[in-house]
Each structure stands twice: as C-alpha cells, then as structure tokens.
Amino acid sequence: MELKDYIAPLRKWWWLIVASVLVATVSSTLATRQQSPIYQARATIMVGRAIENPNPTGNDFYLTQQLAGTYADIAKRAPVREATMAALGLTWLPEYTVRVVPNTQLVEITVVDTSPQRVQAVAAELANQLIRQTPASSAGETQQRQAFVKSQLDDLEVKIKETQAEITKKQDELGNMFSARQIADAQTQVAGLQTKLTTLQANYAALLSNTQQGSINTLSIIEPPALPTKPIGPNKLATILLAAAIGLVLAGGAAYLLEYLDDTLKNPDDVQKELGLTTLGAVPLIENRDGELAALSGGQSAAAESYRVLRTNLQFASVDRPLRTLLITSPAPTEGKSMTAANLAAALAQAGRRVVLVDTDLHRPRLHRIFKLRNNAGITSALLEEHPALDALLQETQVPNLRVLTSGPLPPNPAELLGSTRMKELLAELTALADIVVLDSPPTTALSDAAILSIHCDGVLLVLDSGKTRREVAKRALEALKRVNARVVGALLNRMPTRGAGYYYYYYYTHYYTSGDGRDGDSTEALDHRRRSKRKAGEQPAA
C-alpha cells in the first residue's frame, strides 16, 4: 500500500474529524469555565533534632527517617483527621497528602482546596495535631516534670562550671608549690574535683535525655503554611488542548474503523483486488433529471465523456472477439444498469454504429420510460410470435442509429422465455439488423435471468455502484456468471464521487484517456473540448 492509501480514510472522513475536534474543544471550554480555582498550602515538619547536633551519628538519621514514615502514616488516620475537624469546626476535610521527603527526616503536609484560607488553616492544624501525637507534647504532669528537669539541668550547668573553675585554679596553684606535702594535697583535691565533675556531667547527660533538647522522637514545624495568593489550577489551556487531541485521535481511529468495516467497492483498485475485473469506465455522480440521458447532454458533460470512454474501452476489450451482443447487468437492484445500458447504446450510436437496445428485464422494465416509448408490444411479443415483424417492434429514438425493443407485456415465466431456443434465434435476427445489440437484464443475485441470457451473449458488462455495492454481493454475482461460463469483459463503476478519495479515479478515467493523445476514438472531440475549457479559463490553448 502507498502512503495515499493510508491517508485516504482521513481525507474521506475529514468532516467527522473536524466535528469531533470542535465538539471536544467547545465542551472542554465550557466545562473549564465552570471550574473554581484550586489553591494549595504546605506545612513542613522535621522529626528529631539531629540536624542541630554538631556531631550526629548515622543511627540518629536512620531512626528519624523511620519515625518520619510512621508519622506520615499517622497523619492520614482517623484520629488526626477527626481532631483536625473538631479543632476547626468542620464536618469534612479538603483533599490532602502527606509524604516524607526522600532521604530526609522531613514530612510535608499538602492541602488542596478552592478556598485559600481553608487550605492554610487545615494544613496548620494537621501539623499541630500530628505534633500532639509525640511523647513530648503531653500537658499537665508531664510538663511539670519537664520544668523540674529543666531547673535541675540549669543547676547542674552552674555546678559543672564552678567545678571546672576550681580545677583550673588548683592546677595553676600547683605550678607555684615547692613543698611535697602541699603538692600531694593539691593533687588529691584536683582528683576529687575531677571525680565530682564526672559525676555532674553524667547526671546532666541523664537528665538531658529526658527532655526535648537532643531527643529523637520529637516533631517541630520548620515551614508553616503560608496563605496562597495564586491558584495552582485548573490549567484550562492544557485541558482544552488535551480534549482536542483526544477528539482528534478518537475521530481518526473511528475513520479507520469505519473504513475497515466498509466492505463496498469504491474505486478500480477495489474492483481489481476483490473481483479480478478491469474497470472499463467510471461514471461520475450526477443528478438525473427526469430520466434525461447523459449522452444527449452535450460534449461538455463529464458524464457523457465517461460513456464515450466506456465505448472506447469496450472496443479495446473486444479486439480478439468482437462484441455483437452485450449484456448489461448489476449485482443488485438500483445500481444504475438500465441508465448505463441506455447511455452506452446512445454513445455507440453517436459513433455511427447501428445499435439495438433490448429491455430484457421482464420484472421491472425501465427503457420505455427512459426513452418515453410505448410498451404495448416488445420482446415478449417477439418471443411468442412464430414469425414476428421486428421492424414493427423496434422503435426509433431521438438518437440516430439507435432503436429500442421494449419489454412488452410482462409474462409470468420470464426465465423460461429468456432461456428458450426462440430467444437465441431472436438475438441472431437482431444481430443481423444491427452492428451491436445491447441488452438490459435484471440484477444477477436477485434473479437467474442474467445468467441465462449471458449464455447467448458475446460479453457481459457488470455495473457496480461506487461506495454502495458490497464486495460479497459483487462476488456472488460474478460467480453466478462464471458458473455458466459467461464472458465478463469488465466492470463499470457508476456514481463515482467527484470530490474526496474517489475523485482521483474519476479524473483518471475522464481526463487521462481523453487527453487528445490518440489513445481512443474520441481524441479529436476530447481535444476540442479541452481547448474550449482552456479558453474559458483564460489559458492559451495548445497547438
């Protein structure tokens, strides 16, 4: 597959993609306009006081990090939540998260809400309630005990300093003593002071471990929550762009899905791939006004040009075996076979060939309506009469060299009549009166008439409705014709779109093969048409 084959579904369903993107963009814009601004406040708590210790150990940091994870989990529990709501007089709490900063003893409490005052108050109270969970935060007796320990520490600090001063003084006096007795007494006094100092320091360290100072299992706020002044969201532009991107992706996927589920024949490539048939022509999608024949609309008509291309391609397709009788059929009803037969017959007659157009659709005949002819007698009359006067049954049309044999009264047994020996003889008689006989037959998959008639014809042209004829239906029609060894000379794609993915094929068949390069029998007429078109467009015609 080429790149254009992958892009074709997007080009075909461009309106769906544009509509989806617009709907997603407008919807997201309206939705974001209804959203309130979101604010955020953050409180940071430190576990322990190892950071204040000049010589912290690795064990201190390890323990505080373990405690940080525990306190982060406690902050999410019901006791802390309920205590915070009770303290603030709230019945609910806004969304908040608690996390430990990696590889630290810091705990962050982040609160998100639409009110900046509420997020600040909730973050501060959550931090306060978490601190209350620590052993050092108890009131009453514990606080009195901490005050007593504090006073004892202050007293010990004074005594330690006094003892250190006496030791220093005694050591200075030793340098001025000459008596052995005095030196011995001084040294004894210094040793006693040293013992006293050691005892005081041990008592001080023991009391210090029972206070918050230097303790590990304590919490302190190092960054209180500030009142937010700017919202953190919602990011309206990002939301709108994301919605548009999602709409684009979904619509693109839907386009490819619809194209995958579409099992119709849309262009000559599909016909060749699925049926193995050559597309001999492509008729553009046109408005048929009251059964008007496109072949009679003038040389500038794109539809008329397409039937002339079909006429020429049929001539090339029948070089080895000339087509004296051509059957026109389609896989299903309403695919344009009758109009195709009428226009092709008119195009053949305009080329100077004697043409007889026969309406063998004895179920729903249409040719008499297209050409506005009487239908009181026709092919059924010729089949039932032993020696019919064909010249009386053949009706002249406004197209020179074109005569039509209508269906006549509809019989109860069309298949038996069309498959009879008399039908074969009638075709031989009609062939003697014309250069080519074109037969309009019923749809192939609906009735057996087309398969029966194809036995007596030199070739069959299968009419396919572009974008409507389903592949399986077309395959069944082709198989029905091949079972009776019918010669299918090719296919005609009817109602090809003149815009979109199928326009390329329409242009290819109506322009390339009629470009005045001598490739068909209409080159002179096509070249004149191109010259007239260029003059209208203000171009200089080619010589």
Look up the CATH architecture of domain 39-134: 2-Layer Sandwich (3.30)
Q: What is the mean pLDDT of the chain?
A: 84
Q: Which stretch of 40-49, 301-310, 345-354, 442-451 has the lowest confidence by average pLDDT? A: 301-310
CATH number of 265-534: 3.40.50.300
Is the pLDDT at 206 greater than 90? The verdict is: no
Q: Is the CB of residue 234 less than 8 Å from the CB of residue 35?
A: yes
With H, G, I as helix, E, B as strand and everything else as coil, classify residue 423: helix
Residue 174's pLDDT band, with cuts at 50, 70 and 90, is confident
Is the pLDDT at 428 greater than 90? The verdict is: yes
* End-to-end Cα spacing for the chain: 39
Dihedral pair phi/psi, residue 222, rounded to 5°: -105, -15
Residue boundaries of the structural domains of the chain:
3-35+234-260, 39-134, 141-216, 265-534
* Residues 451, 442: Cα–Cα separation, whole Å: 10
Strands (E) across 336-435 are located at: 355-359, 395-396, 402-405
pLDDT tens-digit map of 91-129: 999 999 999 999 999 999 999 999 999 999 999 999 999
Dihedral pair phi/psi, residue 215, rounded to 5°: -80, 155
The Cα diameter of the chain in Å comes to 173
pLDDT tens-digit map of 325-374: 999 999 999 999 999 999 999 999 999 999 999 999 999 999 999 999 99
- Report the half-sphere exposure of 392 (CA within 13 A, side-chain side): 8
Q: Is the CB of residue 359 less than 8 Å from the CB of residue 404?
A: yes
**pLDDT at residue 213, rounded to an integer:** 55
Residue 8's pLDDT band, with cuts at 50, 70 and 90, is confident
Non-local CB neighbours of 362 within 8 Å, separated by 6+ positions: 379, 380, 407, 410, 411, 414, 417, 418, 442, 449
* Residues 7, 71: Cα–Cα separation, whole Å: 58
pLDDT average, residue stretch 293-321: 80
Q: Which stretch of 209-223, 258-272, 366-380, 521-535 has the lowest confidence by average pLDDT? A: 521-535
Q: Is the CB of residue 475 less than 8 Å from the CB of residue 483?
A: no
The reported pTM is 0.60
Identity (one letter) of the amino acid at 210?
A: N
